[in-house]
Amino acid sequence: MVKGYQMPDDFLWGSAVAAHQLEGAWNVDGKGVSIADVMLAGKSGVRREVTDTVLPDGNYPNHRGIDFYHTFPEDFKRMKELGLKAFRTSIAWTRIFPNGDEAEPNEAGLAFYDRMIDEMHKNGIEPVITLSHFEMPLHLVNAYGGFRNREVIDLFVKFADTVIRRYGDRVKYWMTFNEINNQTEWMNPHHLLQDSGLKDYRPGEAQELMYQASHYELVASALVTKHAHETAQKLGTDIQVGCMIAMNPVYPASSKPEDILEAQRAMQTRYYWGDVHANGVYPNWLKNFWQHKGFKIDITAADEKLLAENTVDYVGFSYYMSWTVSDTGDEWLEYNEAGNHGDNPFLKKSDWGWQIDPVGMRWAMNWMWDRWHKPLFIVENGFGAYDKLTDNHQIHDDYRIAYFQGHIQAMEQAAVLDGVPLIGYLTWSGIDLVSASTGEMLKRYGFIYVDLDDMGQGTGERYYKDSFKWYQRVIATNGATLDSLD
Ligand code: BG6
């Protein structure tokens, strides 16, 4: 028996994906090359190699996705059957502005998202749209240096304005930059490329560049928020713009005060993006830290005013795992994920080493609400696992059901018992798709199984996992029934 708590009637139960991980059709209808299109497949523990251009013989899983570009009408029928009330996806920047700096948008790309959004509404599903989900046009990386360049702010805002004006009558919930704070791990080139389009830098400048690029993204996000509110007024609709934070609570490894102080700084470091998005100001510790490091970050008075006046409407976040840190003895408390992370002896891990921590969900929701005072929206939570397709096309994924039972219960406790305002809960990913970190298909997250392997081999057929029935019942009972299936 797993105790559930009933959520409000308008609560948005749903699932989430990103364009580049499932659409495929990477060069169809005028789409340009994005950074996801030059990432080869990797695997657990093996980072994805990034090529300068598309190599003829490379295994680029995002080129294929699950062919959602062509299958979405059928797939949305399945999601309707699942009972989804909301579905989050991104708009691929390169379908609208193939190189990122064209004068006019690509009408074929805009028409595709017209069809997709209309299809969601036809199935009673509310679209939730991410503007930038690891999909920057490659041309902006090579010709502009990504977000290290202030000019890219205007190019992004132009893209965002174009799609918000086009779909603002049908899409209420928008988010600017997916997991903008992943780049806390600036030692990992993968994150700098995915979040900020940073490539070809000297290792010694990575950290400063990350802070600079992040600032330009925060400015771009504030501008988009401002313009979106103006568009909403013109259209007479309600448009809500959120940020999107990767929430991994960082706990102290022990009750030793130095460990607790270190964990506090880890949280401050990982979540200052949220401070700026939601509170509109940079924290003092960070300004002092930049000075200590000799970083010269270009932040103008006009930027600061813009940030203060255009905070987000809600905080979207993903939640997968938690971490622990211990003291390093450094007076400046510099957070270094590689250096002082440790295992939590109380938690188990997934096959990819991600620590499973449902209680941390409740903890994190309380922490964010206390700090930012903005409604929250869980826009990703899920369990990547190897699934086994039986001879009669069944998938018995009780491990995934167990993961969701714990996390949904913790989410409901935070919302119902603790009173944290919450717009909705979207699982990652509803339907199997390509993993962002490894490029694998076999790291599966869906309730709907897609018969494709890491090389794109398979029938592409869709089959329902046991978790499909389970989540269907959770939604039907509005979160009150979390028990396992009989
Ligand atoms: C988040 C991303 O990092 O987690 C998604 O927003 C991603 O794009 C998801 O797919 C799960 O991570 P992964 O690496 O297992 O696909």
Give the distance (Å) from ligand 1 centre to CA of residue 19: 12
* Per-residue pLDDT tens listing for the chain (486 residues): 999 999 999 999 999 999 999 999 999 999 999 999 999 999 888 889 999 999 999 999 999 999 999 999 999 999 999 999 999 999 999 999 999 999 999 999 999 999 999 999 999 999 999 999 999 999 999 999 999 999 999 999 999 999 999 999 999 999 999 999 999 999 999 999 999 999 999 989 999 999 999 999 999 999 999 999 999 999 999 999 999 999 999 999 999 999 999 999 999 999 999 999 999 999 999 999 999 999 999 999 999 999 999 999 999 999 999 999 999 899 999 997 666 788 999 999 999 999 999 999 999 999 999 999 999 999 999 999 999 999 999 999 999 999 999 999 999 999 999 999 999 999 999 999 999 999 999 999 999 999 999 999 999 999 999 999 999 999 999 999 999 998
| 332 alpha carbon – ligand 1 mean position (Å) | 31
Closest listed residue to residue 138, CA positions, set 68, 30, 50, 60 = 50
Is residue 23 annotated as part of the catalytic site, yes or no?
A: no
Ligand 1: does its nearest atom lie under 6 Å from the Cβ of 444?
no
Cβ 443 under 6 angstroms from ligand 1: yes
Protein residue with least CA distance to atom 7, ligand 1: 436
156 lines ligand 1 (CB under 6 A): no
Catalytic (active site) residue 461: no
Predicted structure pTM score:
0.98
Contact 384 CB / ligand 1 (< 6 Å):
yes
Q: Of 135, 262, 380, 412, which one is the catalytic site residue? A: 380
- pLDDT computed for residue 336 by the predictor: 77
Q: Is the CB of 221 under 6 A from ligand 1?
A: no
Superfamily of domain 12-476 in the CATH hierarchy:
Glycosidases (3.20.20.80)
317 alpha carbon to ligand 1 midpoint, in Å?
12
* CA 390 – ligand 1 centroid, Å: 26
Domain residue ranges in the chain: 12-476
Q: Is 216 in the pocket of ligand 1 (CB under 6 A)?
A: no
